Amino acid sequence: MYRRDHPDIPGMFDARFREYNRPTLWREFQTYWLISLVGFLMILGGCVTLIWNEGRAVKTAVSLTEGQRDITIPETLDVVFDENNGKLVLISGKLKIEDPLLDTDYGVAINCVKLRRVVQMYQWYETEDQNNNMNIETADHDSHIEKTYSYAKDWFEYSIDSDHFHNPLGHHNPHHDQWPVNSTIQVNPRVKIGNYLLGNHVKDKYEDFKAFTSDQKPKVDGFKIYAGLYYHSLNLWRPEVGDYRLQFTYAGRDGEEFTIVGKQSGREIRPFRTTSGEDLLILHPGIRTAQDVFRTEHFNNKTATWMYRLGGWLIMFIGFSCASNLVDLLIAEHYILRQVFAPRIAPIQMSASIALTLTLIGVCWVWYRPLIGISLVGVATAPYIVPAIKHIFGRRSSLHRFDRLD
């Protein structure tokens, strides 16, 4: 009677109804095209990150191994031997800096590799706050986001353009061209360890800056010194916009001990080009042996490698999560893919991202360490290759059985 009264409603076993409501890849992509596209781009980005990281890690590891094998340690630092010219050498000792770096205006003079002057100005800055004014009780769909702006003052090392403030009235900052002084970094042209001169690339590696305050009276007037900072302000506790302060820091002071690994070029230490095309130049504080230096560098390389690996896997995991609807539908529509991916014990985004990560890592390491690379590829692909092989052999046995019946 129900079918007679409602003839147009499809029944439980109406094949046309099931086919009509069955989702397709194209329909699913039309519905979730944006998030799926973002997912595929993230998967591609994760693959690129992993490939780049493994290439970098392999080159660095090969370079460090080559350097540790071919390192030369001079018998003395007082004489630069010509026979070591062009070789990778390790020198360690105290810095010898005869000429100081100067800032005559503030009476700063220090024998160091680098002298940095940091200038900060007291400026206005803008903070944007967003408030969603939706009426929850009445479920008002005409809600809107209201932006409010607040202004405060603080010390900044860079110039803040107040002309771009939402409300510039009463919040004016001096333009960068109006700053009385600017931040600078001076590099000492002549730095030695023993009779070896440090090249510019070596001096660029001195980045551990320490604060420094001169005991000499500066030539400029109208400033106060507090906590190692030079304040150009009438009131330290209530500065005005436009007031500025300076701080001097140094890196690599005369007499400090360092260990350097690089190429001897004449009397100068420069980067050493390895056979893999990498530049090898290492700077460590203190007196270190070659074994300690390269052990530390190998550890740093492994740490950076695993951080990038984790980042690449996470990007791919998020990408597979975004495209999970399309991936699941693709597997459901193809019998072979169902047989291959059915045995997985984790969601597709987890299993696929881990498998792809291990495969890329293994492929990149096959040439350098074949056993490790092949093992990683095998572990990554085994959960999918085994079901595929079983499916192929099962299909062949079925065909042979039917042939015998014929």
Task: Lowest mean pLDDT of 56-70, 152-166, 342-356, name the range.
Answer: 342-356
State the pLDDT at residue 159. Answer: 93
Q: What is the pLDDT at residue 172?
A: 93
User: Given this model, what pLDDT does residue 198 score?
Assistant: 95
3-state secondary structure the chain: CHHHHCCCCCCCCCHHHHHHHCCCHHHHHHHCHHHHHHHHHHHHHHHHHHHHHHHHHHHHHHHHHHHHHHCECCCCCCCCCHHHCCCEEEEEEEEECCCCEEEHHHCEEECEEEEEEEEEEEEEEEEEEEEECCCCCCCCCCCCEEEEEEEEEEEECCCCCHHHCCCCCCCCCCCHHHCCCCCEEEECCCCEECCEEECHHHHHCCCCCEEECCCCCCCCCCCEEECCEEEECCCCCCCCCCCEEEEEEEEEECCCEEEEEEEEECCEEECEECCCCCEECEEEECCCCHHHHHHHHHHHHHHHHHHHHHHHHHHHHHHHHHCHHHHHHHHHHCHHHHHHHCCCCCCHHHHHHHHHHHHHHHHHHCCCCHHHHHHHHHHHHHHHHHHHHHHHHHHHHHHHHHHHHC
The pLDDT value recorded for residue 17 is 42
pLDDT of residue 406: 54
Residue 110 has pLDDT above 70, yes or no: yes
Return the structure tokens found at 41: 């781009």
pLDDT class of 403 with cuts at 50, 70, 90 = low
403 vs 282, more confident:
282
Dump pLDDT digits (tens) for 323-379. 776 666 666 555 555 555 554 555 667 777 788 888 888 887 777 777 777 777 776
- pLDDT of 176: 87
b/e 90-116 (16+ beta carbons within 10 angstroms → b):
bbbbebbbeeebebeebebebbbbbbb
Task: State residue 216's pLDDT score.
Answer: 64
Residue 15's pLDDT is 46
Dump pLDDT digits (tens) for 125-144.
Answer: 999 887 665 554 544 555 56
- What's the pLDDT tens digit per position in 21-54? 556 655 665 666 687 788 889 989 999 999 999 8
Name the least confident of 170-174, 282-286, 357-361. 357-361
Distances from the Cα of 233 to the Cαs of 72, 136, 354, in angstroms? 55, 50, 58
Pick the residue with more confidence: 376 or 277? 277
Which of the two residues, 184 and 356, has the higher pLDDT score? 184
pLDDT of residue 148: 87
pLDDT of 262 over the 80 cut: yes
The pLDDT, as a whole number, for residue 19 is 47
Binned at pLDDT 50, 70 and 90, residue 16 comes out as very low
- Given a cut of 80, whether residue 381 has pLDDT beyond it is no
Give me the chain's average pLDDT, please: 81
Instruction: Note the pLDDT tens digit of each residue in 197-250.
Output: 999 999 999 999 998 876 666 667 778 888 888 899 888 899 999 999 999 999
For the chain, percent of residues with pLDDT exceeding 90: 45
Which tops the pLDDT comparison, 275 or 26? 275
Give percent above pLDDT 70 in the chain: 74
Of 225 and 263, the structure prediction assigns the larger pLDDT to 263
